[in-house]
Amino acid sequence: MDTIQFTYGNFRYLVFEREGQYYLLDRSPSYFIAYLFSPISWLFYQKIYLITQEGYSKIQQKNDRAKKFVLPASFGAGLGVFVYNWFRFKKIDISIYFKTTFSFEINLILLLLSLILSYTLAKLFYVYRKKNIISLLGTELRHPQYMKLKPQKIDFKQLIGYVAVMGGLILFMAVCYLYSANLLFCLITIALSFIYFIGSNIAFGTEVNQFYKIVDIKKDS
């Protein structure tokens, strides 16, 4: 059973080498259930596209340039803390501008629509990343193979922790919105749900010590 290791292509695609040829793995979830619990993607076949050596070089060059402009995560965290403390210092409560008098039923409908919106935005984001890689390669992605892949080592603590933390935050914000009717909680729910949905691609990653088994391969019928 072959094993492979991924390198970064873009948010939707990962790159790997097998038998001297380069391939793209489309790690966007194939089924809705995989958006809710990403490890289930290991049970399904994933689309694989053969690319040329030139295409591989273009991807590497683009990512090498992008690394020079990446801001550290600490910058974003620090900015968030600064903004939060600034609002507290100025005694500004923006939540008062989002208060409503909607009934529980109306809030429930709006919450469901918000979750649908988050899912739709995640799908559109993946479409955008596909167009981005096509533009970079200068060719359409055609004639996929289908591979069933599974990591050699599974960090259940990390996966379950991510699902529990993000799912818990989304549920907490959703409940706060339902009972407070404050649209700020609804907007936060949309943002967190969007992050959770696009983060469903963590089933396949580029960690240095992570390898994946090719469980099965089938051709496009």
144 contacts 45 by C-beta, under 8 angstroms: no
Domain ranges of the chain: 3-219
What's the pLDDT band for 194 if we cut at 50, 70, 90?
very high
Is the pLDDT reported for residue 33 higher than 70?
yes
For range 193-209, the mean pLDDT = 91
Q: Return the pLDDT at 77.
A: 55
Q: Return the pLDDT at 209.
A: 87
Phi, psi of 58 (to 5 degrees): -60, -40
Is the pLDDT reported for residue 84 higher than 70?
no
Is the pLDDT reported for residue 74 higher than 70?
no
For range 164-186, the mean pLDDT = 93
Phi, psi of 98 (to 5 degrees): -115, 5
What's the pLDDT band for 69 if we cut at 50, 70, 90?
low
Average model confidence (pLDDT) for the chain?
A: 87
Q: How far apart are the C-alpha atoms of 25 and 18, rounded to whole Å?
A: 12
Structure pTM? Answer: 0.86
Q: Return the pLDDT at 93.
A: 72
Q: Return the pLDDT at 75.
A: 52
**What is the crossing angle of helices 53-67 and 104-137, to 10°?**
120
